[in-house]
Amino acid sequence: MTQRLLNSEDGPTDEEIEARMRPGAFSKAGFLGPGERLSDVIASDSEVLRNLNLTCAEIASGLDALITAAEISPHRQARLGTLQCQIQVHQGFQICPWASDPNHQQCSAGLGVRHASVDWWIANAKTGEEMRGPGLIVHLIRDHLFFEGPTSSNRVDPSRIARLLELR
């Protein structure tokens, strides 16, 4: 029986999504490590957010505002309060593993994909904390409740990003 717990009826199966997330499939580093299960990662991160009294939308909104400000800046950097954001823009873009037709279109879930051609660096001038991550993570967090797997080099840990953005 084909599982469809984490996506819509017309999208790829959960097994297809997990296969796309393995190292070397949709990204060299992978969204999930070889032994990680998507549903387990999402459940674990959801528990962390519950304990922080935060939502994925709140985290994604904070990241989106910073990245957008840097994207419209001629110097590809912006400061919002104590937060400094710099971006690096790449040619092409990262495809969301949930895309129903990844060879022809980007994922259309939720508010859709933005920032899929950038990597970001954010520093908090007040705390000295900083993080790096992929622009696609805004969509992954907001629309798929996914921060990437614990062994992924592109993971955005929910506790760290909440502390960095001063959301807790």
Question: Does 36 map to a domain?
Answer: yes
Question: Does 89 map to a domain?
Answer: yes
Give dist(CA 62, CA 70) in Å, integer. Answer: 13
73-111 tens-digit pLDDT: 999 999 999 999 999 999 888 899 999 988 888 898 988
Confidence (pTM): 0.91
| Residues 115/138, Cβ–Cβ less than 8 Å | yes
Question: Does 91 map to a domain?
Answer: yes
Q: Would you place residue 9 in the very low, low, confident or very high pLDDT band (cuts 50, 70, 90)?
A: low
Q: Among residues 89, 110, 85, which one has the least CA distance to residue 98?
A: 110
Q: Would you place residue 32 in the very low, low, confident or very high pLDDT band (cuts 50, 70, 90)?
A: very high
What is the domain count for the chain? 1
Residue 57's CB is within 10 A of a number of other CB atoms, namely: 15
Describe the crossing of helices 14-21 and 38-52 by its angle, rounded to 10 degrees. 90
Range of the domain at 84: 14-95+106-164
| Residues 109/119, Cβ–Cβ less than 8 Å | no
Question: Does 3 map to a domain?
Answer: no
Question: Does 142 map to a domain?
Answer: yes
